[in-house]
Structure 1
Amino acid sequence: MVTYGLPIVATLIAWWFSTGAILYLDGLPKATFRWSLAGATLALLAAFWGLAATAGDTSVAGAYLAVFSALVVWGWNELAFLLGYVAGPNRAPCDPALRGRARFAAATRAILHHELALLASLALVALLTAGGANRFGLATFALLFAMRLSTKLNIFLGVPNTTVEFLPDHLAYLKSHFRQRAMNLLFPLSVTAATLLSAWLVHSVVRANDPFLVTGFVLLATFAVLGVIEHWFLVLPLPVADLWAWGLRSRETAGAEHPAAGARPVLPPATGLATPRAVPPPTLVA
């Protein structure tokens, strides 16, 4: 039971804690942003070392270190984005008159640098793990990238529950690129593909007979299932934001200290918990 349960619990804790930590750092005063990114960059360098060091490590510990090193790389990209350091060349609200390809191009320019940073990170992770038997770090980052891209496309096309409540004030212009609607044609395909991938990973766990493979596939399968759940958060009125209430407290404090700065309220009623609308976390799987 420990063989399967421990990786699941470890993944859930990492998903919950890292999301809350990023929200907390993003809610601190802007004067702290450079220090937060500097600390995250040190962790990023350690994660790159971890990926390189475990490329040929087929032990259970190697599977854990590779997967969670990839998660740190992912977290750095999300933090850099939410702090406003790596976003895109277009930082103006979307023109309401734009439609079709023009609207998609404007939205792409708004997050282009972030997407390029993710692609560069993916390439570097692939380079660090090339030729090694342990590819779980690369698989983890690729999985997170695919799930997140799917979420972004669905939010762009329109879903009932967007992530606007989690956006910091300096990224408020991104809200104009989102669309709120009952459903879009991509969502059923996204959920179906993510569910099939999750099922395949669970099947891989069942078929694996080596502790290294079992651990790695359990970690991947758990992240994939979380990705499916976060996709459903986009359309179901579930109160999920209270999971990270501790991370949102920094925004409440910042708003109290600088009430004239336009800080938004972040107590649970202000995040959608007191309404039929709930929002998914802005980081990690989705």
Structure 2
Amino acid sequence: MAEHGLPALFTLFIWWFSTGIILYLDGLRRETFRWTMLGASALLFAALIGLHMVAWDVTMRGAYLGFFCALLIWAWVEMAFLTGMVTGPRRIACPEGARGWVRLRAAVAAILWHELAIVAGLVAIAAVSWGAPNQFGLWTFLAFWIMRLSAKLNVFLGVRNLAESFLPEHLRYMESFFRRRRMNALFPLSVLAGIIACVLLARAAMAGHASPHEAVGYSLLATLVALGLIEHIFMVMPVPADALWRWGLASRKGRPAPSHVT
């Protein structure tokens, strides 16, 4: 239980709670964003220092702390995007009627700085933990990135549930890059890849030769990937996922209803 069940419960809670906090803060008035990002930046630097300090810690505590520090760094990336401070050079809607490469280029321009910030975060994490045995922070950040990139591509190509209610008012132009469809060709591959990754990580966690550090670390990662897989499944279900974070979306009361996206 200590090596598998507790990490799963910890990941489930921290994923749900941190997502709600981010949604709540990014739904507040824009004049609060400066203080939000100052606080998030302080946590970012603390997390990088923390990752360096636990990089040689191969206990269960090291696995938890590496995972948590990586989550704080990812939270900065999400906050920077949802506040509108780190998005891309394009800050207007997709050209009406754009298709193919024109639409793709416009979409990339809308999130380019955000993607580069993720790369910078990955490089920073690799630098502070270079050559150390505890790499669960790096793998956690990679898992977040891959799952988020898959979600972005699927929303761009078209899914039933676009989760547009998660976008704050100042990012509503991002909806123009979404497409509502029952399914797209990438989605089954995304789900299959998620299932394979989850199974492999779970097997690594439960392997007889796994140390307590590895059992906890791989259990954290397996649960995180499973939650990402559930998020993907919600994309094609008739039930929106925002019901899980109504308390986080409470700061956006009074915003107009999302427009229909084709």
Flag whether TM exceeds 0.5 (same fold). Answer: yes
Aligned position for 1:259: none
Q: Structure 1: which amino acid aligns with 2:256?
A: R
Aligned position for 1:195: 195
Measure the CA separation in 2 of the matches of 1:61 and 1:173: 42
Measure the CA separation in 2 of the matches of 1:206 and 1:137: 20
Measure the CA separation in 1 of the matches of 2:9 and 2:113: 33
**CA shift digits 1:56-75 (9 cap, x unpaired):** 11011111000010000000
Measure the CA separation in 1 of the matches of 2:63 and 2:94: 43
Measure the CA separation in 1 of the matches of 2:130 and 2:252: 41
Q: How high is the TM-score relative to the length of structure 1?
A: 0.87
Once the two structures are overlaid, the 10-residue window that deviates more, 86-95 or 207-216, is: 207-216
Name stretches of at least 5 consecutive residues in structure 1 with no aligned partner. Answer: 256-262, 271-286
**CA shift digits 1:235-254 (9 cap, x unpaired):** 012353222111111122xx
Measure the CA separation in 2 of the matches of 1:211 and 1:17: 26
List 4+ stretches of structure 1 deviating above 3 A: none
SS in 2 for 1:173: helix
Aligned position for 2:217: 216
Q: Structure 2: which amino acid aligns with 1:20?
A: G
**CA shift digits 1:251-271 (9 cap, x unpaired):** 22xx3xxxxxxx336xxxx9x
Aligned position for 1:88: 88
Measure the CA separation in 1 of the matches of 2:240 and 2:190: 22
Aligned position for 2:154: 154
Q: Structure 2: which amino acid aligns with 1:2?
A: A
**CA shift digits 1:145-202 (9 cap, x unpaired):** 0010000000000001102111111111111011001111000111101110011001
Measure the CA separation in 2 of the matches of 1:163 and 1:35: 26
Aligned position for 2:256: 264
Measure the CA separation in 1 of the matches of 2:32 and 2:130: 36
Aligned position for 1:107: 107
Aligned position for 1:241: 242
Percent of paired sites with the same residue = 50
Measure the CA separation in 1 of the matches of 2:100 and 2:173: 19
SS in 2 for 1:130: coil
Q: Structure 2: which amino acid aligns with 1:115?
A: E
SS in 1 for 2:3: helix
Asked if the contact 2:80–2:86 (Cα under 8 Å) also holds between the matched residues in 1, the reply is yes
Q: Structure 2: which amino acid aligns with 1:106?
A: A
Aligned position for 1:54: 54
Instruction: Summarize the alignment of residues 40-189 of structure 1 with structure 2, pairs less than 5 Å apart.
Output: 40-189=40-189
Measure the CA separation in 2 of the matches of 1:9 and 1:86: 32
Once the two structures are overlaid, the 10-residue window that deviates more, 243-252 or 212-221, is: 243-252
Aligned position for 2:24: 24
Measure the CA separation in 1 of the matches of 2:121 and 2:2: 32
SS in 2 for 1:181: coil
Measure the CA separation in 2 of the matches of 1:44 and 1:102: 35
Computed over aligned residues only, the root mean square deviation of the Cα atoms, in angstroms, reads: 1.2
Number of aligned residues? 257
Q: Structure 1: which amino acid aligns with 2:173?
A: Y
Once the two structures are overlaid, the 10-residue window that deviates more, 91-100 or 215-224, is: 91-100
Aligned position for 1:276: none
**CA shift digits 1:28-67 (9 cap, x unpaired):** 1111110011111111111101111111110111110000
Aligned position for 1:37: 37
